[in-house]
Amino acid sequence: MIQLHRDTRILIVGLGLLGGSYALALKKKGFRCIYGLARRQETVDYALEHGMIDEGSCHVDADLIGRAEIIIFALYPTVLVKWVEKNGHLIREGTVVTDVTGVKSCIIDPVVRALPQGVQFVSVHPMAGKEVGGIENADETIFQGANYIVVPTEQNTEDAIRLCEDLGAELGFGRISRLTPQEHDEMIAFLSQLTHCVAVSLMCANDDDRLVRYTGDSFRDLTRIARINDEMWSELFLLNKDALLQQMDRFTAQMEKMRGYLSTNDREGLREMMRISTARRGKFDKK
Amino acid sequence: MIQLHRDTRILIVGLGLLGGSYALALKKKGFRCIYGLARRQETVDYALEHGMIDEGSCHVDADLIGRAEIIIFALYPTVLVKWVEKNGHLIREGTVVTDVTGVKSCIIDPVVRALPQGVQFVSVHPMAGKEVGGIENADETIFQGANYIVVPTEQNTEDAIRLCEDLGAELGFGRISRLTPQEHDEMIAFLSQLTHCVAVSLMCANDDDRLVRYTGDSFRDLTRIARINDEMWSELFLLNKDALLQQMDRFTAQMEKMRGYLSTNDREGLREMMRISTARRGKFDKK
């Protein structure tokens, strides 16, 4: 079984914000065999010049892929599936494959089907990011204390799952936990996708140019993620459509409830909702 | 006309989070005659012990009120109106009265009516706060770079308005601007009250105890203000009900629009909303 140590050979496919941040985190931890694949030569050059990878290529480099013991896919969900369907045969038996994808039910099966026998796919969702993308914004500190969700399947061995959990610990993540694909997708529809819907809707609801002169931190906090990668997030929303629609409806029902209390001057109803939210939110501060 | 200098006598009525932060900011700037009134003796003692005020009382102290050249009310809106109706006659002619209240249309008239002839009320909304209250959480750094909205009436002299603007600059506020009461209340319904409705509704929409294990920063950011002072905020909502209901409806319409795009797989519709929000949000970063 593969062990995680300074000379474990790790290939990162996709050197955007997350792939680049993985590379940075691993190099800072002293890993000596970090490889990278990117679409553009400039990205590979940037990663090499900044000491983020030891070797890289802008081609589907069979040599690097064959050498890797762990492959981390940091690609958009649909790009990941297509990549594996086209190039999965290049992956050596015994390799452990993982990812950073934000939706799970719809990608795990096609990826597993496209991989050769003897290659395990242990899917992972690192709950970290930024509102700006690209390797030049890579930053390993985004993982500090963040949550790391492992989404194994019944085909995964405990060894392979542990390896991916150890990787999360090396990267600096705080809490590492496991969910089934369906649990993951419901949780993420609420915690991540719904919050982006809300932020975008808030920002779209008012086109007054003067807002910035009068705003406080509340509005800034609620709309930080309204600066959004529209290509990636529209894809994530559509790939998790049913779960997200359900969460949108749950949220809207609460807004309607609050609207009802307000319009009937039901102070106690308003206060009760605020007391519930205050009690629940108390648990969410970062340690 | 009153000038703002180190020996201007300033009385702060209400030593909670905001009143305490005003006191701290002024003392750190070297003001030597800062007085405070609070309901409880312990609060006055705390303020004196921490060098936040030079003199204070837990009574309606006619001597302190009479000596003050500027009075800053840092009270809940309804408490402010009642205080002035009961004790306004103690305020000396020529005094400039200001406040920190988050709603304007409904309080300016009753306050002005209750004040003696020759006392000007220049209403102010400092756009700064914290999700925890009380003098022990007072912190003058919350004003750094924040917005400060002056809401004058036609009865205010330019001198008195300028004095309150100068006070904002001394306190460390970044952008100082003027709005009419109605403009203020519409703006604040959107920027401040609607965001609190959204955060509370998000927090109320899911009671899964495990959420905290899987959350990312997006959800934390969107719900920071869901830890809320239910007494104060239910009052603010009800006092600005019509404007807030209108903003809730504008927001809900955008959520519905997004829901429609998602349910019909309209990727381009989703992306267009995200592009609008990204372009608008770009203007909101703090300088």
Domain B184-284 has CATH 1.10.3660.10: yes
Closest CA to B234 of B85, B146, B102: B102
pLDDT at B78 over 90: yes
Residue A283 has its nearest CB partner, among B196, B212, B250, at: B212
pLDDT digits (tens, 9 = 90+) for B149-166: 999 999 999 999 999 999
Rounded Cα–Cα distance for residues B199 and B226 (Å): 5
Instruction: Report the residue of chain A nearest B248, measured CA to CA.
Output: A259
What pLDDT, on a 0 to 100 scale, did the predictor assign at position A96?
A: 98
Q: What is the pLDDT of residue A213?
A: 86
The letter for the amino acid at B181 is P
Report the side by side order of strands in the sheet with A123-127.
A123-127, A147-151, A175-178
With beta carbons under 8 A apart, name residues in chain B contacting A226.
Answer: 277-278, 280-281
B interface test, pick of A150, A194, A203, A274 with most B CB neighbours within 10 Å? A274
Structure tokens at B214: 């899987």
CA B102 to CA B127: how far, in whole Å?
Answer: 9
Please report residues of B whose CB lies closer than 8 A to that of A241: 262-263, 265
Give the DSSP letter string of chain B. ----STT--EEEE--SHHHHHHHHHHHHTT-S-EEEE-SSHHHHHHHHHTTS-SEEESS--HHHHHH-SEEEE-S-HHHHHHHHHHHGGGSPTT-EEEE--S--HHHHHHHHHHSPTT-EEEEEEEE---SS-SGGG--GGGGTT-EEEEE--TTS-HHHHHHHHHHHHHHT-SEEEE--HHHHHHHHIIIIIIHHHHHHHHHHT---TTHHHH--HHHHHHHGGGS--HHHHHHHHHHTHHHHHHHHHHHHHHHHHHHHHHHTT-HHHHHHHHHHHHHHHGGGS--
Q: Provide the pLDDT confidence category of residue A286 given band limits of 50, 70 and 90.
A: low
Q: Does B277 sit within 8 Å of A228, measured CB to CB?
A: yes
- Can you say whether residue A120 is alpha, beta or left, with left for phi > 0 and alpha for psi between -120 and 50 degrees? beta
Of B198, B85, B59, nearest to A225 by C-alpha is B198
Neighbouring residues of A121: CB distance < 8 A, sequence distance ≥ 6: A97, A98, A99, A108, A111, A112, A115, A153, A156
Fold classified for A10-179: Rossmann fold (3.40.50)
Q: Please report residues of A whose CB lies closer than 8 A to that of B254.
A: 200-202, 204-205
Minimal C-alpha gap between B212 and chain A (Å): 6
- B214 vs A179: CB contact, 8 Å cut-off? yes
Indicate whether A287 pLDDT > 70.
no
- In tens, the pLDDT along B173-202 reads 999 999 999 999 999 999 999 999 999 999
Provide mean pLDDT across the span A157-180. Answer: 97
Give yes or no for a contact between B93 and B119, defined as CB atoms under 8 angstroms apart.
Answer: yes
Q: For residue A124, is pLDDT > 90? A: yes
Kindly report, residue by residue over B29-48, the tens digit of the pLDDT: 999 999 999 999 999 999 99
Residues of chain A with pLDDT > 70: what percent?
99
Residue of B21, B100, B177, B191 to mutate when probing chain A, most A C-beta within 10 A: B191
pLDDT tens figures, B97-145: 999 999 999 999 999 999 999 999 999 999 998 878 999 999 999 999 9
pLDDT surpasses 90 at B213: no
B133 alpha-carbon distance from chain centroid: 12
Rg of the Cα atoms in chain A: 21
Q: Give the rounded percent of residues in chain B with a pLDDT score beyond 70.
A: 99
Rounded to an integer, what distance in angstroms lies between the CA atom of residue A154 and that of residue A180?
Answer: 10
Which residues on A lie below 8 Å from B77 (Cβ)?
Answer: none
Q: What is the pLDDT of residue A197?
A: 98
Q: Which residue of A has its CA nearest to B200?
A: A277
Q: A284, B219: Cβ pair inside 8 Å? A: yes
Residue B217, pLDDT score: 87
Q: What is the mean pLDDT of chain A?
A: 96
Q: If you average pLDDT over residues A247-274, what whole number do you get?
A: 98
Q: What is the 3-state secondary structure (H, E, C) of chain A?
A: CCCCCCCCCEEEECCCHHHHHHHHHHHHCCCCCEEEECCCHHHHHHHHHCCCCCEEECCCCHHHHHHCCEEEECCCHHHHHHHHHHHHHHCCCCCEEEECCCCCHHHHHHHHHHCCCCCEECEEEEECCCCCCCHHHCCHHHHCCCEEEEECCCCCCHHHHHHHHHHHHHHCCCEEEECCHHHHHHHHHHHHHHHHHHHHHHHHCCCCCCHHHHCCHHHHHHHHHHCCCHHHHHHHHHHCHHHHHHHHHHHHHHHHHHHHHHHCCCHHHHHHHHHHHHHHHHHHCCC
Cα angle: B96, vertex B130, B48; to 5 degrees: 60
* CB nearest B277 (choices: A203, A235, A257): A203
Average pLDDT, chain B: 96
Q: Label residue A257 by pLDDT band (50, 70, 90).
A: very high
Q: What's the rounded Cα separation, in Å, for the pair B123 and B81?
A: 13
**Taking CB atoms and an 8 Å cutoff, what residues of chain A touch B104?**
none
Cα R_g (chain B), whole angstroms? 21
**pLDDT higher than 70, residue B62:** yes
Which chain A residues contact residue B146 at CB under 8 A?
Answer: 216-217
> SS3 for A171-197, per residue?
HCCCEEEECCHHHHHHHHHHHHHHHHH
For residues A263-283, give the mean pLDDT: 96
Which pLDDT score is estimated for B209? 87
pLDDT on residue B200: 97
Q: Is the pLDDT of residue A248 over 80?
A: yes
The structure tokens listed for B106 are 């409904």
- Where are the domains positioned within chain A? 10-179, 184-284
Q: pLDDT tens, A173-215? A: 999 999 999 999 999 999 999 999 999 999 999 999 889 888 8
pLDDT at B287: 54
Q: Could you tell me the pLDDT band of residue B286, with boundaries at 50, 70 and 90?
A: low
Q: Taken in order A199, A205, A208, A210, is the CA torsion positive or negative? A: negative
